[in-house]
């Protein structure tokens, strides 16, 4: 077999890459079966009792990352289920409705810290969201900058 890869300078990297792929496919178990075929899995349905217990433990300070594997669901799914029950997820970004409320309160004269305390966010988070919305910020004495 003649090695022609070096003769075609622009094609050499592509040919090398193609050769690597072919070798990898040949080395795969089961004759190169596709990776994207996954076994189907059954969606776990949580009972009301399990959700209530998870909600109580979360309120006590347990983390979603610890609770989710115990229940057999992902962290994201558990967070969605708890949100549907009205639980506020810690360290979550403000929703668009909360940002609208922040803007309304700031324009009515409340400070960043007051808004943060009422809505459950840090004053810095409130400021970042207001700046992102294009709200004109005041100085520490309440005067427009």
**Would you write out the chain's pLDDT as a tens digit for each of its 145 residues?**
556 555 556 667 777 888 888 888 877 776 555 555 556 667 778 899 999 999 999 999 999 999 999 999 999 999 999 999 999 888 888 989 999 999 999 999 999 999 999 988 889 999 999 999 999 998 876 666 6
pLDDT value at residue 104:
95
Same domain? For 100 and 77 the reply is no
- Tokens representing residue 42 in the block: 């059954």
| 60 lies in some domain | yes
| 27 lies in some domain | no
Q: Which residues span the domain enclosing 111?
A: 96-132
- Tokens representing residue 3 in the block: 């090695």
State the DSSP code for 111: -
The answer to whether residues 84 and 90 touch, using CB atoms and an 8 Å cutoff, is no
State the total domains in the chain: 2
**Which residue reads 């004495």 in tokens?**
141
State the DSSP code for 141: T
| 104 lies in some domain | yes
pLDDT value at residue 5:
55
CA–CA separation, 126 and 98 (whole Å): 10
């Amino acid at each position: 077999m003649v090695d022609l890869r070096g003769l075609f300078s622009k094609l050499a990297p592509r040919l090398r890459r193609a050769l690597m792929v072919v070798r990898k496919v040949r080395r795969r178990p089961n004759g190169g079966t596709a990776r994207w075929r996954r076994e189907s899995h059954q969606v776990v349905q949580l009972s009301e009792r399990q959700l209530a217990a998870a909600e109580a433990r979360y309120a006590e300070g347990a983390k979603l990352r610890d609770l989710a594997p115990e229940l057999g669901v992902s962290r994201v799914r558990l967070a969605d289920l708890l949100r549907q029950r009205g639980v506020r997820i810690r360290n979550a970004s403000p929703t668009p409705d909360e940002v609208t409320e922040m803007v309304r309160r700031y324009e009515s004269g409340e400070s960043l810290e007051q808004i943060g305390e009422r809505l459950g966010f840090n004053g810095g988070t409130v400021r970042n969201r207001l700046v992102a919305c294009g709200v004109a910020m005041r100085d520490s004495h309440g005067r427009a900058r």
